[in-house]
Amino acid sequence: MNLKMLGWNDFFQEGYNNSQSEGYEMGRICVEHKHIYRIYTRIGEVIGEISGKMRFHANGMNDYPAVGDWVLINLREEEKKATINGIIPRKSKISRKVAGNETEEQILAANFDTVFIVSSLNKDFNVRRIERYLIMAWESGGSPVIILSKADLCDNIDEKIEELLPIALGVPIHIISSVDGIGMREIEQYFGMGKTVAVLGSSGVGKSTLINHLAKKEVLEVQNIREVDDRGRHTTTHRQLVILPSGGIIIDTPGMREFQLWDGDEGVNDTFEDINSLALNCKFNDCSHEAEPGCAVKTAIKDGNLLESRYKSFKKLEKELIHFEKRKNELERINNKKKGKKY
């Protein structure tokens, strides 16, 4: 198997050279399931497990491989198995906080160039949710692209695009229908030899149908839309890397109805660039855009130049990230303490 076809390039070669890589080969994680991995290597697909040493040194989920990661492996060719000994430094990653009350990072995908944010044009269309995905995408290190799917089920597409324009500053928007083939050729521009696209979106927005169309075969299960609420059923239960016949790679992720951001400072700045630009004209440098006199943000809302719903979303996310940053700092303190005990 050609590693360049899998996305191997100078960035990963440098990471490999700078790692304790002597005696190890490299492979790319294509599926992860409860710490059992399928890995693409020079001899094809193999099954991999984490070495005991790597498991001992891991402090959290982010120290384990994610789909898309390049890893250092001991390859056992006859068995078609491998032992994973380390992770080559990532160039990009999509992270979220794990579900529940735990403060821990869950990496959904790694080492991609572009992030497709897929939202259907039926009743599941939600601007605020797309806004959160944009923050996640900007923070990841990839370039976001909004894909509006199921165009065959929508008769007011122009209105939906108008709703998106205030939040999609500089982000390409593509309208597609996997059923009718609308817009599918346009999105092929993001693929090519060694290029990787990660796909984000809620359950039932058409991610699996899109990937099957690009793969030109049924690689992922698809279920029909429920008539009661116009939503597709959740089908993907794990993350998966798919090699496309035309060149390029796509990483599918499980659909998410709700998610909490793991990082977001840079993503918020990029997603809410309009509000940050307005804030430069506030009377006070530390304006909180609440009740201060001379607030350019509040003036813009009053004059109709900024939607109040967008401002409220900005403030909500800002408070969420401040609160979560405190929890992350506490987690770091605990992990540092654990590291001290290990050694």
Binding-site residue positions: 149-152, 201-209, 282, 287, 289, 295
The answer to whether residues 232 and 205 touch, using CB atoms and an 8 Å cutoff, is yes
In the chain, what are the helix, strand and coil shares in percent, each to the nearest 5? 35, 25, 45
What residue numbers does the annotated binding site for GTP cover?
Answer: 149-152, 201-209
Q: What is the DSSP letter of 289?
A: S
Question: DSSP readout, 205-266?
Answer: SSHHHHHHHHHTS--S---PBPTTTS-BPP---S-EEEE-TTS-EEEE----SS--BS--HH
- Dihedral angle of Cα 140, 310, 166, 225, to the nearest 10 degrees: 70
Residue with tokens 């001290």: 340
In the structure encoding, which two tokens stand for residue 21, read together? 């890589």
Binding site membership for Zn(2+): which residues?
282, 287, 289, 295
Kind and range of the H or E run holding 270: helix 265-271
Tally the C-alpha atoms within 13 A of residue 126's C-alpha that lie toward its C-beta. Answer: 14
Report which residue type is found at 258.
Answer: E
**The 3-state secondary structure of 296-318, one letter per residue:** HHHHHHHCCCCCHHHHHHHHHHH
Residues 6+ apart with CB under 8 A from 228: none
Distance of CA 210 to the CA centre of its chain: 16
**Among 226, 171, 236, 166, CA closest to 200:** 236
Strand-pairing partners, residue 45, are 40
| C-alpha closest to that of 143 among 198, 96, 183 | 198
Strand partners, 82: 48, 75
